[in-house]
Amino acid sequence: MKVGISPESLTSPLSHFIPYLQEILSDTHSRAQAEAIAAWVGTDAGRFQALLDVLFGDDPLLVQRAAWPLRVVGDARPEMLAPHWPTLIDYLGAPVHVAVRRNVLALAAERREPWPEALLGYLVDHCFRLLASPPEPPAVKVHAMTILLHACRQEPGLKPELQATIEAQMPMGSRGFVNRGRKVLRALARISEAGSPGADVG
């Protein structure tokens, strides 16, 4: 099991990074592996781009497995995500493994800076679609709800649609969905049409 990062990979040219990541992601899938890859990426933009290239690649298994180290890197160094948000948001519409949607949405839900208006529109569209989609697992829907709550603080006019979408799914929702849905609905009730912040649901 190749949890560690080989010394050779630390000095390899960028053209070697992608094959190296493909090799270790093919070998195993674990938290230790994700954390080792994130530590290897560090603050290096080239290595992070190599990880994204694997995430956006054609191998479904590697795409799925690259999503976990992406989450670890993004949690530790959210500034590295900034130039890549347009592509990551667009990728939410791709027919990829649910792990990609779950991890990208989790990172977006943790963002506290206002979204640029153009990006916000695309993100909101994806989140409403995923929130209303019966096959999507609860974790994806919970992250989508959180993102949409934050979006309502930027654009209070989204409140009625979010309230209606959550309420329509409460009767058949999982326990996690219902718990988060109730918190989001309470927070929405405290957002005025002028955009007062309401409470954070965590």
Determine the pLDDT at residue 15.
64
Residue 9, pLDDT > 90, answer: no
Give pLDDT tens digits for 69-78: 999 999 999 9
Output the pTM of the full model.
0.87
| pLDDT value at residue 112 | 85
Q: What is the DSSP string of the chain?
A: ---S--HHHHS--HHHHHHHHHHHHHH---HHHHHHHHHHHTT-HHHHHHHHHHHTSS-HHHHHHHHHHHHHHHHH-GGGGGGGHHHHHHHTTSS--HHHHHHHHHHHHH--SPPPHHHHHHHHHHHHHHHH-TTS-HHHHHHHHHHHHHHHHH-GGGHHHHHHHHHHHGGG--HHHHHHHHHHHHHHHT--TT--------
Q: Are 141 and 131 in contact (CB under 8 A)?
A: yes
Residue bearing tokens 């993102």? 147
pLDDT by residue (tens digit) across 38-86?
999 999 999 999 999 999 999 999 999 999 999 999 999 999 999 999 9
Q: Which two tokens stand for residue 24?
A: 């270790």
